[in-house]
């Protein structure tokens, strides 16, 4: 079974945990293992979330969700605008459904 993806807040918490373990003298490999991360994930997460605190990560998650909703709305509105335009220009394919007689 594939592992569940971590949220931004969880990633920041894991990164802080690795930092604490390293400050206690553990190697990066040992700290990552104890925190439940691979070294590759630690590197990738640091690249994207390393400078964030938990509150900033929470705000980032909210903004990403809002961005997704807005993209969907823009796509829907663009489609609603394009369909009548296509009909007016005669660019719509003929209807393929049949009516019972």
Give burial (CB, 10 Å; 0-12/13-18/19+) of 18. buried
State residue 1's pLDDT score. Answer: 56
| pLDDT for 89 | 80
Between the CA of residue 14 and those of 2, 34, 43, 50, what are the distances in Å?
A: 19, 10, 12, 10
| pLDDT score of 51 more than 80 | no
Question: Tell me, what's the pLDDT at 41?
Answer: 92
Instruction: Give the tokens for residue 87.
Output: 């009909």
Render pLDDT for 4-50 as a digit per residue (tens, 0 to 9): 788 888 888 899 999 999 999 999 999 999 999 999 999 998 888 87
Q: Tell me what the pLDDT averaged over the chain comes to.
A: 84
């Amino acid at each position: 079974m594939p592992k569940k993806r971590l949220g931004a807040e969880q990633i920041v918490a894991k990164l802080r945990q690795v930092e604490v373990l390293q400050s206690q003298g553990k190697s990066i490999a040992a700290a990552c293992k104890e925190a439940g991360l691979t070294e590759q994930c630690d590197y990738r997460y640091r690249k994207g979330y390393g400078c964030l605190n938990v509150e900033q990560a929470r705000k980032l998650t909210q903004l990403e969700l809002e961005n997704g909703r807005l993209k969907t709305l823009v796509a829907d509105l663009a489609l609603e605008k394009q369909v009548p335009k296509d009909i007016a220009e005669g660019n719509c394919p003929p209807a393929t459904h049949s009516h019972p007689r």
